[in-house]
Amino acid sequence: MAVLQTKELTKQFGELTAVEEVDFQIERGEIVGIIGPNGAGKTTFVNLLTGVLNATVGDIIFGGEPLKNAPVHDRANRGLVRSFQIPQVCDDLTLLENVRSAILSREQRNSSLFSLLLWEDESRSEAIELLNEFGLGERQNLSAEAIPHGDKKILDVCMSVAMEPELLILDEPTSGVATENKHEIMKRLRNYFETTDSAVLFIEHDMELVAEYADRVFAMDQGRKLIDGPPEEVLEDETVKRRIRGEE
């Protein structure tokens, strides 16, 4: 069953069409990689899904319900969560406090003040478990400012996971991360989401990571869908090789 679907999704900025009539869907439990050259419309497409931008034309259906022009926070409350290229963490808080803040934000959606107070101890236990799951447990009491950029990216992903998304959207989760840490981030994501029926949609320029961790690849070029299918099929497509991978 599709957790999210778009129909003829289009975004125009004046005379420029950044995303044009894109039909897309992602199933529960699926990990899909979005690829494309610079200016292909990938980030604009994701901005439409998450409510940063409103579509000019077309529909977005999430969990069987149309999103229309629902704001970002409303989409997040429904379970459509995005992790950004720049880690959205608070440097002044510890790793544990950052993850707990995400958990408490999630619980606040459907809880009274009294139940939130009761949740304090449980949020600590859940946060520690998540930090351990993502390899950050031993540094839970360090301030976020004290950890390397790559670990901050992992923390950002951990906080997004703490929101218990139906669909997690990752905008270049490994950008600026050392090569040895890129696979660690993706492995931990895959291992975690294999235990849920949530879906992951990620933008990535590293074709090796896309080939290894995506169940499906959605290629874009000039605002349009270029090809959509299994990694081995999409990455070997002649147009993808030429336009996206830079091969002649």
User: Cβ-count burial of 173 within 10 angstroms (0-12 exposed, 13-18 middle, 19+ buried)?
Assistant: buried
The dihedral region occupied by 28, where left means phi > 0, alpha psi between -120 and 50, and beta the remainder, is beta
CB 217 within 8 A of CB 42: no
As a whole number of angstroms, the distance between CA 164 and CA 209 comes to 24
Q: What is the pLDDT of residue 116?
A: 47
Beta bridge partners, 25, equal 5
Q: What is the pLDDT of residue 173?
A: 87
CB 161 within 8 A of CB 106: no
Dihedral angle of Cα 62, 63, 69, 75, to the nearest 10 degrees = -100
As a whole number of angstroms, the distance between CA 235 and CA 165 comes to 28
As a whole number of angstroms, the distance between CA 209 and CA 33 comes to 9
Q: CATH 3.40.50.300 occupies which residues in the chain?
A: 1-79+165-247
Check: pTM over 0.75? Answer yes or no. Answer: yes
As a whole number of angstroms, the distance between CA 191 and CA 233 comes to 24
Q: What is the pLDDT of residue 113?
A: 47
Options 3.40.50.800, 3.40.50.1220, 3.40.50.261, 3.40.50.300; CATH of 1-79+165-247: 3.40.50.300
As a whole number of angstroms, the distance between CA 168 and CA 171 comes to 10
Which spans in 25-112 are helix H? 42-50, 72-78, 95-108
Instruction: Give the tokens for residue 215.
Output: 């169940």
Per-residue pLDDT of the chain (248 residues; tens, 9 = 90+): 899 999 999 999 999 999 999 999 999 999 999 999 999 999 999 999 999 999 999 999 999 999 988 999 899 889 999 986 555 789 999 999 999 988 887 876 555 444 545 556 678 899 999 999 999 999 999 999 999 988 888 899 899 999 899 999 998 888 878 887 888 889 988 988 888 889 999 999 999 999 999 999 999 999 999 999 999 999 999 999 999 998 76
Task: Calculate helix-pair angle for 179-193, 113-133, nearest 10 degrees.
Answer: 130
Angle of CA points 92, 71, 97, to nearest 5°: 20
As a whole number of angstroms, the distance between CA 29 and CA 11 comes to 28
Q: What is the pLDDT of residue 119?
A: 59
